[in-house]
Amino acid sequence: MKLGIVSSLARPGGNATGITIISADLAPRRLAMLRELAPNATEFAILTNHDTPEGNVQASDAIAAAERLGIKLSTLRAPDESAIEAAFAKLSMQPVDAVLLGSCPVFDVDRYKVVKLATALGRPVIYQFRNYAAAGGLMSYGPDISDAYRRAGLYAAQILRGATPG
């Protein structure tokens, strides 16, 4: 919705139908979950790709949520795969207690590498998709990709049988 793709998820309008795995709006909830996991933590970080609309929404939502929770939140950028290692190296030098990994296809490309870097960091990290947790990450909160693909197939079948997409 904040990205301007549809007016609402419940009623997207036009000929739009289907499901979404966009999870930028979940950044505040992920931050709150990190806070619950590490109640004595005072400094958090979000690693995201500010070069995408979704990354900007996540960062601004996380900053607002951090203010409401009364915690310090620093933001780090990783606009491409080569910047991921540098971002984690920078995180290791900062007094950050926990990390929120933003949702970004750049991170998804090699989630095993991201999880390995996060594990080496030695601080709690929350991810957007379950496949990060399956790859060894601590925890995730977001849409179920397998279910999204299954539902997309069901929608496609309905449309092919004559249903109106909208």
Residue 3 within any structural domain of the chain: no
Banded pLDDT at 3 (limits 50, 70, 90): low
Q: Residue 47 has what pLDDT?
A: 92
Banded pLDDT at 2 (limits 50, 70, 90): low
Banded pLDDT at 146 (limits 50, 70, 90): confident
Residue 89 within any structural domain of the chain: yes
71: number of Cβ within 10 Å: 17
Residue 166 within any structural domain of the chain: no
Residue 107 within any structural domain of the chain: yes
Q: Tally the domains of the chain.
A: 1
Task: Give pLDDT tens digits for 84-125.
Answer: 999 999 999 999 999 999 888 888 888 999 999 999 999 999
Residue 11 within any structural domain of the chain: no
Domain residue limits at 43: 24-145
Crossing angle for the helix pair 111-121 and 81-93, nearest 10 degrees?
Answer: 10
Residue 33 within any structural domain of the chain: yes
Residue 1 clears pLDDT 50, i.e. is over it? no
CATH of the domain at 105: 3.40.50.2300
Alpha-carbon span 149 to 110, nearest angstrom: 20
Residue 139 within any structural domain of the chain: yes
Q: Is 112 helix (H, G, I), strand (E, B) or coil?
A: helix
What is the mean pLDDT of the segment spanning 21-27?
69
Residue 160 within any structural domain of the chain: no
Alpha-carbon span 143 to 19, nearest angstrom: 10
Q: Residue 21 has what pLDDT?
A: 61
pTM above 0.85, yes or no: no
